[in-house]
Structure 1
């Protein structure tokens, strides 16, 4: 197979000149082609998956969801195979083909030396935040983290244990279906600028969840969470603010899931009209609760 190296011939005075592609010497025995991989083909290839990193089941499951949803695209990423047939890269894709029963088309590179595996997957992974930024989204990293927590919540993981993780196409679809997530990300950034005791991803996700129930009340709640203005003694929002500040000052390790439980406990207390400190019990180990 002949590879190509880009050499720029762009003169300084003419920034619009296209670079030329100059052919490099052939790489002996290495071939690349698009291959249709059925579940049976994947099973056969996986018989030679004898020298690879440990399987990450959540990665397999994410690929399965993408394949079943028709979100698996031909993007140039390849299944890489050594000259002796050993799978060097692509085991999670192949396992997902078997598990999903879906046939895919993907690039397959064969004939690589075994030592080539040492330098695979060494680059920076393109995150959902990166993709959102390329889409022109504001607060792209926060927006992605908020969307990820909403996805986990909607899929039953209310403690954000990250047993499964959303794929970028799933987060794109969630944002397209819920454009108000952008507003929630803005609220998260705004609150964090004035009150840096709760992770922005939790604040944004909580804002989105509570806005589904009572959007106007959510506006007031998160304004007061951020500034604490004019809150009477033992008000649930004031209690929440004091609770998370105490935890932070005491250097307690409070998970995002517990932070979410604390915020929603305070929200429910406000909605229920409770003002007694004993009644709302915003504790560091607050259990997961649904907003109401």
Structure 2
């Protein structure tokens, strides 16, 4: 039975008052579950009963708001949970998101739970985008997920990759649907990293995605030479790139992720301009330049 039919056939409409909601969930004092269309006004009223909960995380609310507004909010079994007195035990972030989005969502709601069960809620490990891709049998799921997060940030205009806002799994899934070529970028990144292990696969894959959109043939050649360095003369930008990341990693142990991408962009731009580059330097905390 489809979700839409389940809601319609069982007549789980949206209650308009807390009294109606309590009546809907009443089951002789025993826990019970219903599917309802949670309207913003009801979410707001339920938040009045959110008197004992963990601190609200604004970033989580914003993630949910974006998913709700984009229509990426399926009925997945997650529930708003209430205790025997009607107080909110779990779901405050979703309730705040429904209010802020101003959009109803179809959700399970569970009532009649003992208050002490709150301590055991949300104790499991949250599924990541990589987990979701793996469950969908996506090859190179970890690398694809990492590239998707960086490409999403790039498209949001974050050229320093320092913003705390991260894409949701739904946003990453939509981005992969829009740019399926990211799968190929992940493959090239994995291959290049195996030959030259001094640049993270996510940085290689993000750079490949950006460069491939400009010139696929030159992009293929570029990453082959990043991997093997074959046939490059003194002063070639790719040699400067390989030398820089090798020496910097040996000296500092770790290079900031954005700097990895910046090094690749500077080398790529120099190759495109047929300009020699004997030494590659990037000033700290500068935005990653646009590839040409």
Q: TM-score range by the shorter chain?
A: 0.7 to 0.9
Q: Aligned residue for 1:45?
A: 46
Q: Aligned residue for 2:127?
A: 126
Q: CA deviation at 1:253?
A: 3.9
Distance change (3 Å), C-alpha of 1:55 and 1:234: farther
Q: Which 5+ residue runs of structure 1 have no aligned equivalent?
A: 1-25
Say whether 1:229 aligns with 2:225: no
Contact 1:243 1:282 survives alignment (8 Å): no
Q: Aligned residue for 1:291?
A: 291
Q: 1:87, 1:240 → 2: CA distance?
A: 55
Contact 1:151 1:166 survives alignment (8 Å): yes
Q: 2:235, 2:282 → 1: CA distance?
A: 11
Q: TM-score if structure 2 supplies the norm length?
A: 0.85
Using the TM superposition, name which of 122-131 and 280-289 deviates more. 280-289
Residue deviations 1:44-71, cap 9 Å, x none? 1112222222222222112111111111
Pairing 1:208-223 to 2, within 5 Å after superposition:
208-223=209-224
* SS across alignment from 2:252: coil
Pairing 1:127-146 to 2, within 5 Å after superposition:
127-146=128-147
* SS across alignment from 1:146: helix
Using the TM superposition, name which of 73-82 and 162-171 deviates more. 162-171
Distance change (3 Å), C-alpha of 1:65 and 1:285: closer
Q: Aligned residue for 1:34?
A: 35
Distance change (3 Å), C-alpha of 1:177 and 1:223: same
Q: 1:202, 1:50 → 2: CA distance?
A: 44
Contact 1:262 1:283 survives alignment (8 Å): no
Q: Aligned residue for 1:196?
A: 197
Q: CA deviation at 1:42?
A: 1.0
Q: Aligned residue for 2:159?
A: 158
Say whether 1:257 aligns with 2:262: no
Q: CA deviation at 1:154?
A: 0.7
Contact 1:31 1:111 survives alignment (8 Å): yes
Contact 1:38 1:103 survives alignment (8 Å): yes
Contact 2:43 2:99 survives alignment (8 Å): yes
Contact 1:36 1:103 survives alignment (8 Å): yes
Q: 2:235, 2:28 → 1: CA distance?
A: 72
Q: 2:202, 2:138 → 1: CA distance?
A: 16
Contact 2:203 2:257 survives alignment (8 Å): yes
Q: 2:175, 2:192 → 1: CA distance?
A: 23
Q: 1:166, 1:276 → 2: CA distance?
A: 36
Contact 1:247 1:284 survives alignment (8 Å): no
Q: 1:242, 1:285 → 2: CA distance?
A: 21
Q: Aligned residue for 2:9?
A: none
Q: TM-score if structure 1 supplies the norm length?
A: 0.85
Residue deviations 1:59-95, cap 9 Å, x none? 2112111111111111110111222333222111111
Q: CA deviation at 1:269?
A: 1.5
Q: Aligned residue for 1:171?
A: 172
What is the aligned residue count?
Answer: 266
Pairing 1:53-202 to 2, within 5 Å after superposition:
53-202=54-203
* SS across alignment from 2:106: strand
Contact 1:239 1:282 survives alignment (8 Å): no
Q: Aligned residue for 2:22?
A: none
Q: Aligned residue for 2:20?
A: none
Contact 2:148 2:182 survives alignment (8 Å): yes
